[in-house]
Amino acid sequence: MDAGCALFVKRLPTENGGAGGGRKVGGLAADIRLAFRAHGIGVTGVKLLKRRRAIVDVAERADSAAVQALVAAGAIAVAGQPCPLILPDNGFILPGSAAAPDERTLELRAACVCPKCALVCRTRRQLAAHLADGAAHRPPPPRWRPERLAEFDLSPHTMVGRMPAAGRAALEDYLGHVAPQWPELGAIVGHVSSHHPTSLRLKELLETLETFRLVGQFIYERHRRQPGAGGGGAAGGAAGGVGGVSEILDLACGHGLLGVLLAYRFPDVPVICVDLEPRACFAHYREAWAAHGVAAPPQPGHGGAPQQPPSPPPASTATPTTTPTTTPATGCALANLSFRQQDVADVPLTARSAVVCVHACNEANLLVLRRCREAGAVAWSVMPCCLPERLYGLNCRHLPDELRYPCLVGTMATQFGAAKVRAIAGAITNRNMCVMGPAAPHAAGGPPVDGAGGRNRTHRTEAAAAGAAAIADSCGRVEQHTAR
């Protein structure tokens, strides 16, 4: 039973006898609220009708078992028999109801409930006015809500291809919420889970999609701030012809799904996934996108010039190993995606590189941030996993993990001048904080964007405030933990 449903309810006569029984109207409404809340069903409103009928607006999500328990307890009944609860959209009678609805209840339902948005009206005239106004209908409730994450088994061993039917239905709702511009995403995920059941873990999928929303938006914002950024659009709502970024690198990419999503959003920007060795699932993802993905139309490169491939590494750097399957034909989905088998310390970076590094361990986070600062990268995003205290000069080993992690992330954000600190849902992973920067975006080889440094000072202030807020919040929680 979804939120916002209205239920027609009948109750037993009171102990004083009769339909009214000397009971005040306010007391009857209060009794109905208490009866529902005692069974875990929240109520936002009670509209009392004649003949001891009432319309109850349900606020919280309640399952059929909770309503059946309410009926079985005798809180809602007529002449000692359970009374059916009628949902306004289809007249469905919940299982376990012994009595059928009488004609008066059906008449009230048909006359006072909007068939389009299930709004309960007091009179037929009010319903007619509501139906005549097309803009008055309430929007349907969203199919996905953050609390529905509890429906998933987020253990590290849960595979998407082996989820039960209810879990797959919830995943479809989630995909439609997280990427409404990509209706083909459900078919892509279904292809991977059906053809390669062990290549896609549910936890990794949700974690990557939530991170992609943060990182993709940040890169898009940095695109628009750069001089010469184009205004065209790519498939799926990306910003095409962007002048600020020449390449996107997913360092220590692991399974590579984040790089695949970024390549699909920014089809005119080369995306390079870098790791010590490729995983088999990376090829499976490309296979699914080739089967169901939508190829972006050919677009000019940055500033109207043809798109150029990323510059090769300098002669002093060891030549990376590239797998033969990473050069798709032009015009196909993910034609801009490639994999480079190389150590992250040897990857060449430029001032127009956008760098992403998710859940790298120990010194890898610090190495990536230092290299981005040295190269003056236009954008970088890091979601740290393991953070040794000795690397950041903060002694907090006595703290519990839920306090230690935000302290170290705040210290990292302050040391490297981050622009933003964001977080994904903690139910997905406890290493959920994403640090994005730098705070002062520079044009490629040019002065700061504002020229006078005002915007740069603002970004530095915001970054320092973000780091200080994270540390202050952690310190407050430390005091509470010590007091306990």
Q: How far apart are the first and last CA of the chain?
A: 40
CB neighbour list of residue 134: distance below 8 Å, 6 or more residues apart: none
d(CA 151, CA 171): 10
Residues 179 and 210 in one domain: yes
Tell whether the model's pLDDT for residue 206 goes beyond 50. Answer: yes
Using one digit for the tens of pLDDT, what is the confidence trace for 76-93? 543 333 334 433 333 333
**pLDDT (0 to 100) of residue 99:** 43
Residues 151 and 126 in one domain: no
Of the candidate ranges 55-59, 194-198, 277-281, 335-339, the one whose mean pLDDT is the lowest: 55-59
Tell whether the model's pLDDT for residue 241 goes beyond 50. Answer: no
* Integer CA distances (angstroms), 317 to 337, 340, 347, 372, in order: 22, 13, 8, 17
* Residues 345, 363 contacting (CB under 8 angstroms): no
Residues 307 and 418 in one domain: yes
Domain final residue, candidates 81, 103, 136: 136
Give the pairing type, strands 53-58 and 239-240.
unpaired
State the burial class of residue 104 (Cβ atoms within 10 Å of its Cβ: 0-12, 13-18, 19+): middle
**pLDDT grade, residue 36 (50/70/90)?**
confident
Using one digit for the tens of pLDDT, what is the confidence trace for 54-79? 667 665 555 556 666 665 655 454 33
Question: Which amino acid makes up residue 344?
Answer: V
Mean pLDDT of the region 189-206 = 94
Q: Residue 248 forms beta bridges with which residues?
A: 271, 354
* Integer CA distances (angstroms), 184 to 177, 282, 290, in order: 13, 19, 12
In percent, how much of the chain has pLDDT > 70? Answer: 59
Please report whether residue 401 resides in a domain.
yes
**pLDDT (0 to 100) of residue 121:** 74
- Residue of 315 and 221 predicted with greater confidence: 221
* Residue 375 three-state SS: helix
Which residue has tokens 């002065």? 447
CB neighbour list of residue 441: distance below 8 Å, 6 or more residues apart: 222, 225, 226, 378, 379, 448, 449, 459
pTM higher than the cut 0.85: no
Tell whether the model's pLDDT for residue 181 goes beyond 70. Answer: yes
User: Cα Rg for the chain, rounded, in angstroms?
Assistant: 29
* Residues 286, 337 contacting (CB under 8 angstroms): yes
Residues 277 and 214 in one domain: yes
- Residue of 480 and 435 predicted with greater confidence: 435
Q: Which domain range does residue 120 map to?
A: 6-136
d(CA 67, CA 44): 16
**pLDDT grade, residue 6 (50/70/90)?**
very low
Please report whether residue 262 resides in a domain.
yes
Using one digit for the tens of pLDDT, what is the confidence trace for 325-375? 444 444 578 999 999 999 999 999 999 999 999 998 888 999 999 999 999
**pLDDT grade, residue 317 (50/70/90)?**
very low
Domain final residue, candidates 112, 136, 160: 136
Please report whether residue 141 resides in a domain.
no
Mean pLDDT of the region 301-329 = 41
- The count of domains in the chain is 2
Tell whether the model's pLDDT for residue 38 goes beyond 80. Answer: no
Tell whether the model's pLDDT for residue 209 goes beyond 90. Answer: yes
Which residue has tokens 């080993």? 397
* Residues 85, 71 contacting (CB under 8 angstroms): yes
d(CA 354, CA 363): 20
Domain final residue, candidates 108, 136, 164: 136
Question: Which amino acid makes up residue 328?
Answer: P
Element (H, E) at 172: helix 165-178
* Residues 271, 336 contacting (CB under 8 angstroms): yes
Cis-peptide, bond into residue 438, ω within 30° of zero: yes
Residues 263 and 338 in one domain: yes
Tell whether the model's pLDDT for residue 40 goes beyond 50. Answer: yes
**pLDDT (0 to 100) of residue 26:** 56
d(CA 293, CA 287): 10
Residues 50 and 121 in one domain: yes
d(CA 375, CA 227): 19
* Residues 339, 295 contacting (CB under 8 angstroms): no
Task: Produce one character per residue of 202-221: b if its CB has 16 or more CB atoms within 10 Å, e if not.
Answer: bbbbbbbbbbbebbbebbbb
Residues 328 and 208 in one domain: yes
Which residue from 245, 258, 264 is spatially nearest to 359, judged by alpha carbons?
258
**pLDDT (0 to 100) of residue 103:** 56
Residues 392 and 445 in one domain: yes
Residues 423 and 279 in one domain: yes
Residues 132 and 158 in one domain: no
Beta-carbon count within 10 A of 33 CB: 17
Using one digit for the tens of pLDDT, what is the confidence trace for 366-414? 999 999 999 999 999 999 988 888 888 888 888 898 899 999 999 999 9
